[in-house]
Amino acid sequence: MAAATAVTESAPALAPAATPPSFGAFALRWYRLNHDRLRATAIAVLSLAAFLIVWHLLTTYRVVFFVRFTNVPSPLAVYASFAKAIHDPKFLMHIVLSCRRIFIGFSLAAIVGVPLGLIMGRFKLVHEVIFPVAEVLRPIPAIAWVPMAIMLWPTNEQSIVFITFLGSFFPILLNTLHGMSLVDPVLVRAAQCLGARERAIFGEVYFPASLPHIFTGLTIGMGVAWVSLIAAEMISGQYGIGYFTWEAYSLVQYPDIALGMIAIGVLGLGSSLLIRGAGHLVMPWRSK
Amino acid sequence: MSEIQKPAPRGHIEVKDFALSYETIDGSVEAVTNTHIHVNPGEFVSIVGPSGCGKSTFLNTVAGFLKPSTGTITVDGELVTSPSAERGMVFQQYSLFPWKTVRENVEFGLKMRGMPRSQRERAARTLLGLAGLEAFEKHYPEKLSGGMKQRVGIVRALATGPKVLLLDEPFGALDAQTRVIMQQILTNMWQRLKISVLFVTHDIDEAIFLSDRVYCMTARPGSIKAEIPIPLERPRQQAMMMSSEFLALRRGLMSLIREESLKAMGGELNDLGMQGLNIELQGHSLADVL
């Protein structure tokens, strides 16, 4: 309250002045306007630092308190193995292959799931035919599909992409369908009495009105795609970051386990940021 | 219909023997019954009635969203069967496309007609300029106030040059001050365009201030109870709302509507089992107090 008053009071004093305000005043105003964001960033940095310190202490003193930190690698050991892995083409290949599987599986799920959801939302018969099958298959976790996928597809690579596809397909389909069911009928009427026919109503009203939910589906789908991919790679893979992590355990390369986990986390975060960025680009009316 | 009739003035609405009912488990329920109305070319006509009397349902049928159970609706002799750009509509909930800018909203009808981009952009800019909204052409509707949204809604409905304009309680969601300003803007616009207007409202002052003629509807099932010509001079100004002529019209319409509102409420009170109140209603004691 006090800060807000101070800003409004100082504004008329600064604005009419022909000379630019001093750097100090400018910095002060910038600080006041961005105070909340700066605070959040500072706390985030401190929180991460605290996490690293606790991790370091637990592993250095090999704490055993219900859980055993005896064999858990320390942050420094993980960093050392990261420094080595970054120059190792094999490690990079694991990452590239996982990303490729995500890209293909997720893209296929989006290319099939979004149009199917839109059509199911618009045409009752398609909904009535497809929905029961989708409802039966949906609760089966993607991991449970692994044996079936290996039987279905001729190569290991195809079955892993298939698992990734399945994981992201259902959230994308169901959220698109949900978005379609929430389209305001008044907007459809408004379009109709402006001369819009079926195709235009679909493209100009139903699709953009469903976009926010489509992107919710894509975000959730991307998360589930990574979960499914890592599980599939651990079970049946020969390459990929999930396989790398599991192999590290088998080969008693403990720092690599944590490195694999962190790499998975960073990749998952990066891909969901990509989706969010795409959402802002596609829906400019939603951004502040 | 025929070639000879074409040069006749545009926008003549004719509704004959109109009734609309819908099916429920207990059988067919009448929403609107035995309704005849007409709007002459260039005339401003309002329909007022108690809430739930079916006036919005009626307007939706004129727009072509619903089909009458009996009777016919024609505009310039052509039967209304489905929505069309010939009948522009303004909704209470604004109904602007949130994903389109103000200008893109106004352009929409022209785009549907296949007008090239540069041409419709120019047309939309001109229209927005007339409504004093040119500064907001690139804004998304979310950023606008209610009054501005509804101005865009009206401009959008007029952009395609419809024969008639249908308005369904367009100012119902606005605050009192904005509503008065919007009424003045609408009456000024109409004065210039001379388009036929069918306006639905429950606000008696609004109906009198804007209209050439007012139809008063009965409680459910709705039908036309009275038709009141409004002989107030044009152009209309807010100050007229204090004139004795205006107030006399207002009193007349008020008593017509009150009777119907009480009937509608009486039914509801009865449903709630408030017999005591209902007896009073039938004895007109509550009506006298109100």
Looking at CATH, the fold of the domain delimited by B3-86+162-240 is given as Rossmann fold (3.40.50)
Q: Which of A186, A200, A211 sits opposite B95 (nearest CB)?
A: A186
**Contact assessment for residue B196 and residue B164, using Cβ atoms and an 8 Å cutoff:** yes
Is residue A235 left, alpha or beta, with left meaning phi > 0 and alpha meaning psi from -120 to 50? alpha
Total beta-carbon pairs less than 8 A apart between chain A and chain B: 66
In a structure prediction context, what are the per-residue pLDDT tens digits for chain A, which is 288 residues long? 344 444 444 444 444 545 666 888 899 999 999 999 999 999 999 999 999 999 999 999 999 999 999 999 999 999 999 999 999 999 999 999 999 999 999 999 999 999 999 999 999 999 999 999 999 999 999 889 999 999 999 999 999 999 999 999 999 999 999 999 999 999 999 999 999 999 999 999 999 999 999 999 999 999 999 999 999 999 887 899 999 999 999 999 999 999 999 999 999 999 999 999 999 999 999 875
Distance from CA of B2 to the nearest CA of A (A): 24
CB contact (8 A) between residue B99 and residue A200:
no
Distance from CA of B85 to the nearest CA of A (A): 5
Beta-sheet pairing, A64-65 with A67-68: antiparallel
**Contact assessment for residue A221 and residue A169, using Cβ atoms and an 8 Å cutoff:** yes
**ipTM of this complex:** 0.86
Q: Under 8 Å CB-to-CB from B29, ≥6 apart: which residues?
A: B21, B22, B23, B221
CB contact (8 A) between residue B108 and residue A285:
no
Starting at the edge strand found earlier in the chain, the sheet holding B224-229 runs B87-90, B164-168, B196-201, B44-48, B213-217, B224-229
Here the tokens at position A282 are 């596609």
Looking at CATH, the fold of the domain delimited by A77-286 is given as MetI-like fold (1.10.3720)
Chain region(s) in chain A for CATH 1.10.3720.10: 77-286
Nearest residue of A to residue B108 by CA position?
A194
Nearest residue of A to residue B113 by CA position?
A195
Distance from CA of A213 to the nearest CA of B (A): 14
Instruction: Please indicate if any CB of chain A lies within 8 Å of the CB of B22.
Output: no
| DSSP E strand stretches across A33-188 | 64-65, 67-68
Q: Which residues of A touch B142 (CB under 8 A)?
A: 285
Instruction: Please indicate if any CB of chain A lies within 8 Å of the CB of B88.
Output: yes
Domain ranges of chain B: 3-86+162-240, 96-160
